[in-house]
Structure 1
Amino acid sequence: MGIVAAGATVSALAATCDKPVYLTLDTGHMGIAPLVADVLRRQQVPVTFFAANEPTKEGDGSLGDHWAPWWKARAAEGHEFASHTFDHAYWRGDVKGSGAVRFKLRPSAGPQTGKESIVEAAAYCAEVRRSADRLQQITGRKPLPLFRAPGGKTSPALIAAARQCGYAHVGWSPAGFLGDELPSETFTNKALLDKALRTIRPGDILLAHLGIWSRKDPWAPADLEPLIVGLKERGMCFATLREHPDYRAWIAQHP
């Protein structure tokens, strides 16, 4: 049975989850995506995916046609989705002057990779919405009205602009940074797992990725399932951000 069977299992899990943690997964090179899906299905863990159209080890980008069946299968299992901006566009600073604040952006994907530009709030909103629209096109389900800025880099003005167009920003808890972006030469999988199991508390938002190019010893094959099992043994359970107390009201107000 999948995580959602007919869409009811996730709700049932949430209803009985009194010490929740919120596992979130950002896109990446997607090389470990099949393994991640197997672990989540085996452990009956619902997650929230934040998706951008990033370069991948195979296929035409993480939101391209090659990976569309993978996303559709995750939707059928009851996972939730949200935007990570379409071109994985990093905020580089606010630009203040006469009139409204504008933003410096530098995408790490798409035709403008590595090029810095200055955009107005409406253009930033369009960048966030583009990913959400693509997710809905692929999965047939409306993503959550949430987004995560690449690298978690934001400003109060950027967050306010996104909220004006219907998207609340989601970061992660300090203990929830699982370290899969760090160099494995100095941050071994065992050390990262031990730290996570020691420091994560109920209510924390956890962050990992579907593949990091720079890490030589990938995190997920070694740590994802042991982390899930270990947190369960500590009495914790898993829920999506739809159930998070900081976002429930926002989501209800932006159906």
Structure 2
Amino acid sequence: MALPGARACAGLVLAASMAVAQAAAPQACRGTIYLTFDTGSQSQAELIANTLNKHHVKATFFLANEKTVRGDWSLDPSWAGYWKARVAEGHAFGSHTFDHVYWQRDLPKGAMVVKPQFGEHAGQKLTWSAGQYCDELRRVDTRFAELTGHHLDPLFRAPGGHTSPNLLAAAKSCGYAHVGWAKAGFSGDETSSEVYPNAVLLKRALDNLKDGDIFMAHMGIWSRKDPWAPSVLEPLITGLQQKGFCFATLREHPDYSSTAAK
């Protein structure tokens, strides 16, 4: 017969073991947030990758061939190792147009006026057909496959989020679905850090993001004096996790999962 003290000790051990097991067991998500990152100056590229990896978070990256703080371009061969590592980690990838091409206005017969930010025609207003817009989306996929051996997911984000009936129809004709972001998912990293300090942006996101929201930030913004990611990304992730949120790529988003599976 076990002594009372032994029974009490055994009870404490059992209770402690159950507490450890409960703490180790995965908690049910109260919702899912979809983190997305557009290429930019790439000043925060390594920090973003390290933070996501540290917290076992998968995100979706939208790629354009943008000038970086290293003096190269974000889809140069010099970035192949970076993108290969993100592929291996299980992130998702979409097109952001190769030359970061802004839509300007629609024209008859599906045509549109566009303005590339980079490339041979940077700063020029061009008239493109639907086919030419598709070619621009596919340029990113071709380069990404050359760098990593993997293709993009059939997703794209128009620079600035500016779309139109002609632009969306053009992209749909070549199999790309457009991805915007939730109102609460606007990181504000393009805004003035004097007017919108990082603490304000962090609080706004933590207070307002809800299940299913797509969050958008950049991999570095040239104009922001106090960079967003070093101050905000990790506390945003841990804060949302503490509120019971999980994270996933857009491959798992109900609006895009069927598209991404094709």
State if a TM-score over 0.5 links the two structures: yes
Match of 2:235 among 226, 237, 253: 226
Q: Is 1:208 the equivalent of 2:220?
A: no
The residue number in structure 1 matching 2:255 is: 246
Number of equivalences: 235
Q: CA deviation at 1:95?
A: 1.2
What letter matches 2:47 in structure 1?
L
User: Which 10-residue stretch deviates more, 121-130 or 52-61?
Assistant: 52-61
Gaps of 5+ in 1: 1-15
Q: Greater CA radius of gyration, 1 or 2? A: 2
CA–CA distance in 1 between the matches of 2:142 and 2:60? 16
Q: CA deviation at 1:179?
A: 0.6
The residue number in structure 1 matching 2:199 is: 190
CA–CA distance in 2 between the matches of 1:149 and 1:217? 26
Match of 1:35 among 43, 47, 51: 47
Q: What are the superposed Cα offsets for residues 167-214 of structure 1, whole Å, 9 maximum, x if unpaired?
A: 011000100001101110100000000000000001000000000011
- Residue 162 of structure 1 aligns to a residue whose secondary structure is helix
Q: Is the 8 A contact 1:17 1:239 kept in 2?
A: no
Q: Is 1:85 the equivalent of 2:101?
A: no
Match of 2:87 among 63, 75, 94: 75
Q: What are the superposed Cα offsets for residues 105-129 of structure 1, whole Å, 9 maximum, x if unpaired?
A: 1111112111110010000000001
Q: Is the 8 A contact 1:81 1:135 kept in 2?
A: no
The residue number in structure 2 matching 1:4 is: none
- Residue 226 of structure 1 aligns to a residue whose secondary structure is helix
Q: Is the 8 A contact 2:83 2:147 kept in 1?
A: yes
Match of 2:106 among 76, 91, 94: 94
What letter matches 2:190 in structure 1?
E
Q: What are the superposed Cα offsets for residues 229-250 of structure 1, whole Å, 9 maximum, x if unpaired?
A: 0000110010000000001122
The residue number in structure 2 matching 1:26 is: 38
Q: Is the 8 A contact 1:17 1:238 kept in 2?
A: no
- Residue 66 of structure 1 aligns to a residue whose secondary structure is helix
Q: What are the superposed Cα offsets for residues 40-89 of structure 1, whole Å, 9 maximum, x if unpaired?
A: 11011000000000111114201111211111111111111110000000
CA–CA distance in 2 between the matches of 1:114 and 1:244? 35
CA distance 1:132–1:27, change in 2 (3 Å)? same
What letter matches 2:137 in structure 1?
V
Q: CA deviation at 1:18?
A: 5.7
- Residue 65 of structure 2 aligns to a residue whose secondary structure is coil
* C-alpha RMSD of the superposition: 1.1
Q: Is 1:47 the equivalent of 2:59?
A: yes
Q: Is 1:135 the equivalent of 2:147?
A: no
CA–CA distance in 2 between the matches of 1:44 and 1:145? 24
CA–CA distance in 2 between the matches of 1:117 and 1:202? 39
TM-score (norm: length of structure 2)? 0.87
Match of 1:180 among 189, 194, 209: 189
Q: Is 1:108 the equivalent of 2:120?
A: no
The residue number in structure 1 matching 2:131 is: 122
Gaps of 5+ in 2: 1-27
CA–CA distance in 1 between the matches of 2:34 and 2:170? 25
Q: Is the 8 A contact 1:59 1:67 kept in 2?
A: no
TM-score (norm: length of structure 1)? 0.90
Q: Is the 8 A contact 1:101 1:157 kept in 2?
A: yes
